[in-house]
Amino acid sequence: MVYYYNITNLAGITGSQNPYTPTLNTNKQVSLNSNNGVLPPTPTFENIIKSINNGSTYSALSSNTAISNGGYVSYGIENSQSNYVVAVRNANAVTLTYEGIMNGNIGIARNVIGETYNEWISFGVESEPLNYVFSGTVFNDNGGINDSDINVKKDNATIDSGIYNNTNFFNGTFDSAESGIAGSTVKLVDCTTNAPLETINIPTNIVGKYEIKIPIASLTGKSTVCLIEENSGSTYPIRTTNEKTVISLTTNKSNYENNNFGRVIDKSTALVLEKEQALNDCKIASLLPNLENKLAYSKAALSEVTPGQCIAYKITATNRANLSINHFVLQDVLQEKNVNGAIVTSKLANPIHQASEYAADSVAIGNNGTVKTVTSILDPRTKRSFYFNTKYGTTHSNTPDTP
C-alpha cells in the first residue's frame, strides 16, 4: 500500500488546488485526486499517520518483530520513524515489497508525488538451529572473598560483621565478584539412567566455562535432559549447588545458558562448631549461663577439676552460608577411659536442656555414649546452641573435650 505522509497538506488548501493536492470528505477521510496513490480503508489522519493511541492494523512495525508463517502485513511508517526490522523464521521463499511517497518538487510550483529516499529496512531470514547448546560455569562460590583470607579465618563464626557478613558467600549463585574454576567434567545425561549423551572436560584456559553441543535429532522424543558436574580434585571439594541439574526442553528453544555449578575450598565450609565448657557442682537447675546457676562457659581449658564435679558443655552451630543446612544433626561422643587416649569416663548428667531437641537414640542420663540431636534445619546465616551436662568419675583430665 502507498501512504501519503505529509500531514500538513492532507487538509487541503483554500483557493486554487492542483490535481495532486489531497482533500478531506465530510467524514474526515482523505481523498487523493487523479489516482495519485492508494490509501488504506477509512483513510482518516489516524489511519494514515500512525499514532500510539491508534489501534488499527496500520500500527508501527517494531524492531525484531517476527511475521508468522503465511502472514501478510502492510504498514504505514512515518519518515521520522521508518527504520524497522522484518524477521521471518524458516522461510522457503520471501518477497519483500516496499513503496513510499513523499511531498517532493520537480521544479514546478505544485505538490508532486515521488519516490522516497534515505530510508532503511533490515530484512533477515532465520532457519532452525541444528544443535542444542548447553552452557554454564563451574565457579568458586566464595562471594568474592579471597581464599587466602578464608584460610586464615576458617573457624570464624562471626556472621554479623567481617568477611562472612556477605550475602554472596556460599549462596549457590554465580555472582559478578566470583570466578570460574578449572578441573571439572560436565556430562549431558539421560535423567533416568544417568547414561552419558555427551561429555566435556573443562579446559583450564577458559576458567570453568563449558559448552556442550549435541544435534537436536539426537534428543528426539526427550522432554528433559540432565547435566552432571564432577571434580575429582581436592582444591574445591565442597559443593554449593546440586551435582545434577534437570533441564526441560522447550519448543523453538535450542540454547540453554547459565547452568552453573558452585564449589568452595574446604575451609569455606558452611558450618562452624564452637565448643565451650563450664564447671559446676552437679546441682544446677538449668544449663543456661545465667546469674542464678553461675555457669561461665569458656573455650579455655579447665583446671583443678575435683572428682565428682560436673562439666556442662555448650556447642554452638553457626551456618555462615546463604543457604539452609538441611538434615542437620549434631552429635558428640562422650569420653571413655582408655579410648583415644582418654583417662576418664564421662557420663551424661542432669539437668537436660530442652529434651525435645535430642534424638530418641541419644545417650541416657547416667550412661556413656553419644549425645545426638534430632534432625533439623539450620537456616541461612543463623546460630543455634545446644547444651548438655556430664559427670566425671574418680579421675579427671585438664584437657577439654573437643567436638
Average pLDDT, the chain: 77
Q: State which H helix or E strand residue 196 sits in.
A: strand 196-201
Q: In this predicted structure, what is the pLDDT of residue 307?
A: 72
Is residue 62 one of the residues assigned to a domain?
yes
Q: What distance lies between CA 369 and its chain's CA centroid?
A: 44
> At residue 126, does pLDDT exceed 80?
no
State whether 75 and 157 are in the same domain. Answer: no
Q: Of 251, 268, 285, which residue is a domain's last?
A: 268
Nearest Cα residue to 147 out of 270, 237, 268? 268
Q: Is this prediction's pTM over 0.85?
A: no
Is residue 222 one of the residues assigned to a domain?
yes
pLDDT band at 205; cut points 50, 70, 90? low
Mean pLDDT calculated for residue range 297-306:
83
Q: What distance lies between CA 255 and its chain's CA centroid?
A: 17
Q: Which residues of 19-34 are buried (b: 16+ CB within 10 A; e: fewer)?
A: ebbbeeeeeebbebee
Q: In this predicted structure, what is the pLDDT of residue 95?
A: 63
Rounded Cα gap, residues 228 and 245, in angstroms? 7
188-192: Cβ within 8 A, 24+ apart:
188/134, 188/212, 188/214, 188/225, 188/226, 188/227, 189/225, 189/226, 189/227, 189/228, 190/222, 190/225, 190/226, 191/224, 191/225, 191/226, 191/246
pLDDT band at 301; cut points 50, 70, 90? confident
DSSP track, 6-63: -HHHHT--SSS--TT--EE-TTS-EE-GGG-----SS--HHHHS--TT--SS-----T
Contact 22, 9 (CB under 8 A): yes
Quote the cell numbers at residue 217. 535429532
Q: Of 89, 112, 127, which residue is a domain's last?
A: 127
Q: In this predicted structure, what is the pLDDT of residue 34?
A: 52
Contact 252, 227 (CB under 8 A): no
State whether 230 and 297 are in the same domain. Answer: no
State whether 140 and 258 are in the same domain. Answer: yes
Contact 170, 272 (CB under 8 A): no
Is residue 402 one of the residues assigned to a domain?
no
Is residue 385 one of the residues assigned to a domain?
yes
Is residue 278 one of the residues assigned to a domain?
yes
pLDDT band at 395; cut points 50, 70, 90? very low
State whether 242 and 256 are in the same domain. Answer: yes
State whether 62 and 185 are in the same domain. Answer: no
Residue that has been written with the C-alpha cell 556430664 in this structure: 390
State whether 64 and 79 are in the same domain. Answer: yes
State whether 110 and 65 are in the same domain. Answer: yes
Rounded Cα gap, residues 240 and 169, in angstroms? 10
DSSP track, 247-264: EE--TT--EE----EEEE
Which carries the bigger pLDDT value, residue 226 or residue 117? 226
State whether 145 and 262 are in the same domain. Answer: yes
Q: What is the pLDDT of residues 56-111, one digit of tens each?
A: 444 444 555 555 544 434 444 444 444 545 555 555 666 665 544 444 444 444 44
Name the 3-class secondary structure at 357.
Answer: helix
pLDDT band at 305; cut points 50, 70, 90? confident
Q: Which residues contact 5 (CB under 8 A, 6 or more apart)?
A: 48, 49, 78, 79, 101, 102, 103
Q: Of 268, 287, 315, which residue is a domain's last?
A: 268
State whether 17 and 86 are in the same domain. Answer: yes
Q: What distance lies between CA 74 and its chain's CA centroid?
A: 41
State whether 205 and 244 are in the same domain. Answer: yes
Domain range holding 107? 1-127
Name the 3-class secondary structure at 151.
Answer: helix
Mean pLDDT calculated for residue range 287-301:
83
Task: Return the half-sphere exposure (C-beta side, CA atoms, 13 A cut-off) of residue 190.
Answer: 10
State whether 345 and 370 are in the same domain. Answer: yes
Rounded Cα gap, residues 327 and 305, in angstroms? 37
Is residue 382 one of the residues assigned to a domain?
yes
Q: Which residues contact 104 (CB under 8 A, 6 or more apart)?
A: 112, 113, 114
CATH at residue 141 = 2.60.40.10
pLDDT band at 372; cut points 50, 70, 90? very high
CATH at residue 343 = 2.60.40
Is residue 399 one of the residues assigned to a domain?
no
> At residue 19, does pLDDT exceed 60?
no
Is residue 398 one of the residues assigned to a domain?
no
pLDDT band at 340; cut points 50, 70, 90? confident
Q: In this predicted structure, what is the pLDDT of residue 172?
A: 97
Q: Which residues contact 92 (CB under 8 A, 6 or more apart)?
A: none
| Number of domains observed in the structure of the chain | 3
Q: What is the pLDDT of residues 28-51, one digit of tens each?
A: 776 665 554 555 567 665 555 443
State whether 121 and 135 are in the same domain. Answer: no
* Cβ count near 151 (within 10 Å): 12
